[in-house]
Amino acid sequence: MPKDFWALNVKRAGPGRLFLGLLFLGACLSLYGVDWYVSNPSGMSLEPAAAQVALRSEYALSVEIVPGSRLPEELRPYYSRSYQVELRILHRNGEEARRQWRFLDSSGRIRLSAIFNETAFIEVYNSGGLLLEEHERDSAGIERVVTFFYNDLFLVRAETRIGSEAYCTDSYRYTRSGSLRSVERTYLVDVPAGEGPVLLTFPPISRHALADESFVNPGLAYSSEFFEDLLISAGTRIVYTADSRGRVLTETWLDETGKETGVLTNTWNGDRLARVHWQSGEDERLSEYEYDGAGNRIGEKNYTRGVLERTVRREGNREVEELYMNGRVILRAIWEDGRKVSEERVR
């Protein structure tokens, strides 16, 4: 190559073309550069900062556009050459805490978001921004997959699979105005009630829906051991109704023939669950809850057909559990950090 090759070609190019060429070169050099931000536990880019400044914060976020060749193997089936790949790494106290991959299409829409730490969570979107699939793998390697189905912009069905086994199907019902009326869940396997999914969640589904709207059902799973013996059989359908804040008010259990087998009713005091009532034939149960000024649950009472059977009183990491018969305490147990440390029969 002639010694004066670059000088000769720069002279031929002229100042205009040279300027454009330098812009192009700068874009190429910055394409795979890393941007740093002061962040928070959610991984938000709060404030641009130099790497050494960001890393002095408790949370720092690095954002980098990377080639598809750097993708983890399990994300490659979702990759298209038309996507831009963004790698976002959240650091806590200077150490990597979470790694997120995002695919962006030519319009800048997110087509895939994947988070990896001890577990894996992958969301796949269509070109309109609707969530199509949700993959979650726990630390034991068990994968849960939810597939979403829409009618126009309305979510109408969600199918959940755990491992290779179909688990349940959620059907969404709407009012004429487009607001969500109820969710009906059909279980395809036998599930102890205390172990079943308790959060029915969905993306924005209509002009009338709230962003990240969800149904929360703490009645069976979160409230107490009092309901642990209830079993959800394969074929059971559960219809949830909720208020405008997404709090589940009633939960109606139906068997394969559509016959009602039980109704659970939640009563709320603000954002706190005050009572859970279960009625199934002659099986009637009621749990009542008490909270301190900070909103922490400190007390629980359990009744069967109107008769007090059990109380739990919490003080920090200590719980006092008492069992009743004929209105009198017959057994008292003390728990600390979830472990029983003493038990006495009361006469």
Res. 201: pLDDT tops 50: no
Domain boundaries, the chain: 1-31, 301-347
Res. 32: pLDDT tops 70: no
Res. 3: pLDDT tops 60: no
Instruction: Determine which of 6-15, 78-87, 223-232, 269-278 has the lowest per-residue pLDDT on average.
Output: 6-15
Res. 13: pLDDT tops 80: no
Can you give the pLDDT at residue 87? 95
Distances (CA, A) of 332 to 162, 225, 303, 314, 321: 40, 16, 17, 13, 6
DSSP of 81-137, one letter per residue?
Answer: TTSEEEEEEEEETTEEEEEEEEEE-TTS-EEEEEEESSSEEEEEE-TTS-EEEEEEE
- What the block records as the tokens of 265 is 């009713």
Res. 254: pLDDT tops 80: yes
Q: Residues 64-85: what's their mean pLDDT?
A: 93
Instruction: Determine which of 26-30, 45-49, 91-95, 263-267 has the lowest per-residue pLDDT on average.
Output: 26-30
- Distance between CA atoms of 29 and 19, rounded to whole angstroms? 15
pTM above 0.85, yes or no: no
Looking at per-residue pLDDT, the higher value among 192 and 306 belongs to 306
- Distance between CA atoms of 203 and 197, rounded to whole angstroms? 17
> Whose structure tokens read 């150490």?
95
Q: Which helix (H) or strand (E) holds 284?
A: strand 283-291
Confidence of residue 82 (pLDDT cuts 50, 70, 90): very high
Report for 25-34, 81-90, 116-125, 206-215: range of highest mean pLDDT: 81-90
Q: Is the separation of the CB atoms in 87 and 104 below 8 Å?
A: no
- Distance between CA atoms of 162 and 141, rounded to whole angstroms? 11
Computed on alpha carbons and rounded to an integer, the radius of gyration of the chain in Å comes to 28
Can you give the pLDDT at residue 209? 35
- Distance between CA atoms of 99 and 43, rounded to whole angstroms? 10
Res. 219: pLDDT tops 50: no
Looking at per-residue pLDDT, the higher value among 258 and 85 belongs to 85
Res. 176: pLDDT tops 70: no
Q: Residues 138-151: what's their mean pLDDT?
A: 89
Confidence of residue 22 (pLDDT cuts 50, 70, 90): very low
For the chain, the average pLDDT equals 78
CA end-to-end distance (rounded Å), the chain: 103
Can you give the pLDDT at residue 76? 93
- Distance between CA atoms of 89 and 258, rounded to whole angstroms? 49
Sign of CA dihedral 163, 166, 167, 168: positive
